[in-house]
Structure 1
Amino acid sequence: MQELNKHEADITTHHKNPYEIVKNLIKESVSNLGMNENVYHILKKPMRVMEVSVPVRMDNGEFQNFTGFRSQHNDVLGPTKGGIRFHPSVTLDEVKALSIWMSMKSAILDIPFGGGKGGVIVDPNELNERELEELSRSYIRSITPIIGPQKDIPAPDVNTNPEVMGWMMDEFDKLRGYNIPGILTGKPLIIGGSQGRIAATGRGVVFTIREAAHYLNLDLTNATAAIQGFGNVGSMTAKFLHQMGVKIVAVTDAKGGIYDKNGLDIPKLLDFVSKGNVASDFSEADSIENEEMFALPVDILIPAAIENQVTKETAPKIQARILAEAANGPTTPEGDAILEEKEIFIIPDILCNAGGVTVSYFEWVQNAMNYYWKEDEVNNQLEERMVEGFNRVLEIQKQKKSRMRDAAYTTAIKHLVQAFHARGWVKARMDVE
């Protein structure tokens, strides 16, 4: 079985409700844009949320009933789209917030999707492979009434991967009686997956870092970086930054971290992790704790774990010039205010980590055409979308002299409101100006 994306997700989160955070960000952006309050009321709540029972027969013969969720935020631009995470800390409000962030990402990059997200409250490391497969199939059966290639398209997220997607697709196809590859994305290549999908989020993160460095006149070949989380996103980000000449001096995960002031041997570390090890067990480096990593004097800091990591406690210690939010919602409002005072350039999550949904869109398009692209074509199209999205947000930031986060939400909401207006959901001209 392929390694689950667990190492980027198990770092302790701080207790902030992500749904309340994202609602406040939307409310502030709508107000700053002078838009009708109706826009906020449309955007603040998902249009549909489903809570499901996910029964699994365990190896001891007993049934265990897990709780799952699926949130569909808004379909004004197209079918909703978003990952499924298996994690013990999944909550309904977290899934709602993540679905809203997915809407924002698609809007910034001009992708014809709305935002969706799903999750199951479970520690997948406590299940064997058969139990995990049954959990995956049981969950997809439970949400089948509300998903489909033109309705809602799931994908991998924390603790899920192409193998899990393959099980889910197979279960959906059995229920429908024929092959429907476009039902989800992030599948194995042999059954309709896309070249470049596994590395897409990390590659997109690096494209935005490159553009930010260019804007700030930062020479990446002389730059240093630290990464929190070394699952799929963190490890791919490390790989591509290393190829650009960036010296990655620290990496942390759930168990701890590693540090080398002269730069970690990233190819050797990636090989070590690919064999089922965790990054913090890598012996060719010194140990470092998560809190210490945030305080390192690096040029680029990359939170690639889960929500609420840059807080009022950790933000004052950060010395980086660029904070690239590879994770969803890694910065609390209090942490954000501190970073603004310190004039740290933030690449907000709804821009920074949008590479995953972008290549998921490409996969969905390829499934619909039954014609598949070479990896270079996928990567070139991804780069074009990420650079265009970055420049859209940067242009708003310069025009309004605002924070990058405010500019990102402004870009997304203006795009969504244009679609609202086209469908007649809002009428006042002020809504689209």
Structure 2
Amino acid sequence: MIPSRMHQFLHDALPDLIWKNRLIKDGPFRFLEFGPLDVDRLQRLGIKVDRLGPRLVSCMWNDESPVEIGGFLVVDNLAMGQPSMGGTRMLPDITPDTIHNLARGMTLKNAAADLPFGGGKSGIIRPENLSKEDRYEVIKGFARLLRRYKKMYIPGPDVGTNDADMKTFAIENGLNNVVSKPADMGGNRIDELGGAANGIVVATKALLEQLPRLKQLPQFKNLIIPKPSDLDIIIQGFGAVGANVARLFHEYDQDNCPVIKGISDENGYLLNSKGLPWKQLFDMWKKVGAVTQKYFHDHILHNKTPDLNRMVFSNSCNNLLTESAFCMIPASPVFNYLDVDASSNPAMTTDRMGTWQIIVEGANTYSPNPARKAERKRMERHVYRDKGVLIATDYLVNSGGVIYAAHERIIPTPDHLLIPKDILGNSTAIKGWLEKNRDEFETLAERRRKAAVEKLETVIRRNMKELIDGLCKDADSLPCEIAEQISVQRIASMEKSRTARDVMENAPTIGVDKNMTDAARLLVDAHAPIVNIVSENGKLIGIVTNWDITKAMASNLPMDSPLTRVMTADVITNHPDATIIDCIRKLEHHEISAMPIVEENKVVGFISGDILARQTLFRLLQTMKP
């Protein structure tokens, strides 16, 4: 059944006419789909269409399941490549605008990581009091809903889901239609390996090398940069990202390990100026999750570890951000960890923040919402310009997870290891089949891991260099502005390289010996704005449009009139290798809505303003400099 919160939200947001006209029924599954032309409808869902997207928003649910199964999918942008890639979040308060914000973050993150995938995200509305058995049914049911979009979107784990859930997705939809699978499926196990955390570690190391260049800016002229071994760090959010950051800092370069000075989780924070016992805390986190309060109770309160007398514990987790360190890493699922005042309900206000020199964002903080972007810029003006704290924007640095995940597609599963179609959905049969091919899958997983680590090191170091380049080049710019420029320029570069061949649709054609009725019927059947009139050998000799038919009828021409009486013989065309921007300019220059795409005198497709609006980032291309 549709989740009750989803039912209430959608019925409040969308009028009955939209339900009547847009609801898609496929067996027990229900879908409400919206694209970039549905500006008003998306506004009702809290989503503002802009120059980057979204490409698709789907509200989907199972109408017949005994347990509530439903949620949202947003494919924001496909300029970098198709399909899009992004995690599946599972929380009780999921809304379309939340998923859109995350999908836009994935658009920028995949571009920053230079990956051939668009940005997408999905969210499951988690029912209350969900049992283990019902949770499995929800995961499996949502996988079946996503099956409709497997050519446009590949899911991975996110808040509320894990690598094991991705195994369930793979059992339902196939190995190549999900990422971050377990090793027995050849997966890269984002959570287990700490993919996102690895990006944070590499970014921090790279920034220490790049920071001297910032001394040319007035707010950084007195910057003192510590040796790597003297670097002290506080981590807000000791979870899948934060805990692995602590681990990987010590595995990455054991001779130059930083000091993990403080950590926080939902129960409080721990601080020790001499350094926390990160290994002990990491092992405890793997067993029990939240560690701060338990560690305090077991090791400090009863004085079992007397050498920890410098340890501080507070049950106010946000107050970790009042403590000072060279580097602060926000890694909890909080959008606004910092703001200039309390009006946006941040974790901490800037007047109470500790003294830091760099912030490396492990959490997803980006939002395309204009109000939130304004809040972000306001915060950065105070923290970056006034306080001299460099902020490394989330999608430039925490893309390690998506890099790991992407290599499950970049290095595809060999055909002989793909799950046979006749056992898809049969977990017992698939378990035996995976065991049979265990060694090959483990080899494949290791090959993907090594390739991902190499890519991550290269891309994130480049991002840090380009971030510092941009800030030094334009002293008035903010880190969030430079970060967005880096990603958008990569997206625009990919979009500029796309051609008519990439987006054109099949062109309806008709012989010159047919009449006006035949052309009108074809226009209706093909749902196309033009019909191409061709000679016996297939050469284009004219077109007929909806307007031509309407004008002929208004002139009282008989419907059996030959096409030569109504067609346009002087046809504006383009070729398959024409760029998207060239197609836009030609349509605008000749004030036409559609044109045939011709190759070697044969019609191979057509382009229209509607196609360009639905399938390209024409708004972005029109704003970019030639």
Q: TM-score, normalised by structure 2?
A: 0.57
Deviation at 1:91, TM superposition (A): 2.0
- Distance in 2 between residues matched to 1:214 and 1:109, nearest whole Å: 20
Which residue number corresponds to residue 220 of structure 1?
A: 228
- Distance in 1 between residues matched to 2:487 and 2:261, nearest whole Å: 34
Which residue number corresponds to residue 26 of structure 1?
A: none
Does the 8 Å contact 1:46/1:74 carry over to 2? Answer: yes
- Distance in 2 between residues matched to 1:90 and 1:338, nearest whole Å: 31
Deviation at 1:387, TM superposition (A): 1.3
1:310-349 mapped onto 2 (5 Å cutoff): 310-313=338-341, 314=348, 315-318=350-353, 319-329=355-365, 332-333=375-376, 334-340=378-384, 341-349=386-394
Structure 1 pair 305–89 and aligned structure 2 pair: CA distance change class (3 A): farther
Q: SS of 1:282's equivalent? A: helix
1:14-163 mapped onto 2 (5 Å cutoff): 41-43=50-52, 45-53=53-61, 63-78=66-81, 79-122=83-126, 126-148=129-151, 151-163=152-164
Q: SS of 1:272's equivalent? A: helix
- Distance in 2 between residues matched to 1:335 and 1:71, nearest whole Å: 28
Structure 1 pair 56–265 and aligned structure 2 pair: CA distance change class (3 A): farther
- Residue identity over aligned pairs, in percent, reads 22
Which residue number corresponds to residue 454 of structure 2?
A: 380
2:466 pairs with one of 380, 392, 417: 392
* 1:309-338 Cα shifts (integer Å, max 9, x gaps): 212242333311111110001795243332
Asked which structure has the greater CA Rg, the reply is 2
Deviation at 1:66, TM superposition (A): 4.5
Q: SS of 2:456's equivalent? A: helix
Which residue number corresponds to residue 178 of structure 2?
A: 184
Q: SS of 1:367's equivalent? A: coil
Q: SS of 2:156's equivalent? A: strand
* 1:193-220 Cα shifts (integer Å, max 9, x gaps): 0277731100011100111122224322
Structure 1 pair 54–320 and aligned structure 2 pair: CA distance change class (3 A): farther
1:202 pairs with one of 189, 197, 211: 197
1:165-176 mapped onto 2 (5 Å cutoff): 165-172=166-173
Structure 1 pair 123–56 and aligned structure 2 pair: CA distance change class (3 A): same
Structure 1 pair 363–240 and aligned structure 2 pair: CA distance change class (3 A): same
Structure 1 pair 195–98 and aligned structure 2 pair: CA distance change class (3 A): closer
Does the 8 Å contact 2:108/2:487 carry over to 1? Answer: yes
Structure 1 pair 97–146 and aligned structure 2 pair: CA distance change class (3 A): same
Structure 1 pair 262–65 and aligned structure 2 pair: CA distance change class (3 A): same
Give the aligned residue type for 2:362: A
Does the 8 Å contact 1:68/1:121 carry over to 2? Answer: yes
388-397 or 288-297: which moved more? 388-397
- Distance in 2 between residues matched to 1:293 and 1:168, nearest whole Å: 38
Which residue number corresponds to residue 293 of structure 1?
A: 320
Q: CA RMSD in A?
A: 2.4
Which residue number corresponds to residue 282 of structure 1?
A: 295
* 1:18-73 Cα shifts (integer Å, max 9, x gaps): xxxxxxxxxxxxxxxxxxxxxx9331x3110111225797xxxxx34244111001
Q: SS of 2:68's equivalent? A: strand
State whether structure 2 residue 321 is matched by structure 1 residue 309. no
Which residue number corresponds to residue 206 of structure 2?
A: 211
Does the 8 Å contact 2:239/2:289 carry over to 1? Answer: no
- Distance in 2 between residues matched to 1:169 and 1:55, nearest whole Å: 23
Does the 8 Å contact 1:73/1:115 carry over to 2? Answer: yes
Give the aligned residue type for 2:262: A
Structure 1 pair 42–365 and aligned structure 2 pair: CA distance change class (3 A): same
- Distance in 2 between residues matched to 1:142 and 1:429, nearest whole Å: 36
248-257 or 344-353: which moved more? 248-257
102-111 or 213-222: which moved more? 213-222
Does the 8 Å contact 1:303/1:325 carry over to 2? Answer: yes
Equivalent residue pairs, number: 378
Consecutive unaligned residues of structure 2, counting only runs of 5 or more, are 1-48, 212-224, 300-310, 342-347, 367-371, 416-443, 499-578, 583-620
408-417 or 363-372: which moved more? 363-372
Deviation at 1:123, TM superposition (A): 6.6
- Distance in 2 between residues matched to 1:184 and 1:303, nearest whole Å: 28
Structure 1 pair 55–208 and aligned structure 2 pair: CA distance change class (3 A): farther
Structure 1 pair 272–121 and aligned structure 2 pair: CA distance change class (3 A): same
- Distance in 2 between residues matched to 1:196 and 1:153, nearest whole Å: 14
Which residue number corresponds to residue 406 of structure 1?
A: 481
1:245 pairs with one of 257, 260, 271: 257
Does the 8 Å contact 1:82/1:154 carry over to 2? Answer: yes
- Distance in 2 between residues matched to 1:66 and 1:414, nearest whole Å: 38
Q: SS of 2:339's equivalent? A: coil
- Distance in 2 between residues matched to 1:132 and 1:316, nearest whole Å: 43
Structure 1 pair 56–214 and aligned structure 2 pair: CA distance change class (3 A): farther
2:493 pairs with one of 418, 422, 425: 418
Which residue number corresponds to residue 243 of structure 2?
A: 235
Which residue number corresponds to residue 282 of structure 2?
A: 270
Which residue number corresponds to residue 15 of structure 1?
A: none
Q: SS of 2:328's equivalent? A: strand
Deviation at 1:170, TM superposition (A): 0.8
Deviation at 1:83, TM superposition (A): 0.3
Deviation at 1:253, TM superposition (A): 1.2
Deviation at 1:404, TM superposition (A): 2.2
Which residue number corresponds to residue 557 of structure 2?
A: none
Structure 1 pair 388–56 and aligned structure 2 pair: CA distance change class (3 A): farther
Deviation at 1:422, TM superposition (A): 2.3
Structure 1 pair 140–339 and aligned structure 2 pair: CA distance change class (3 A): same
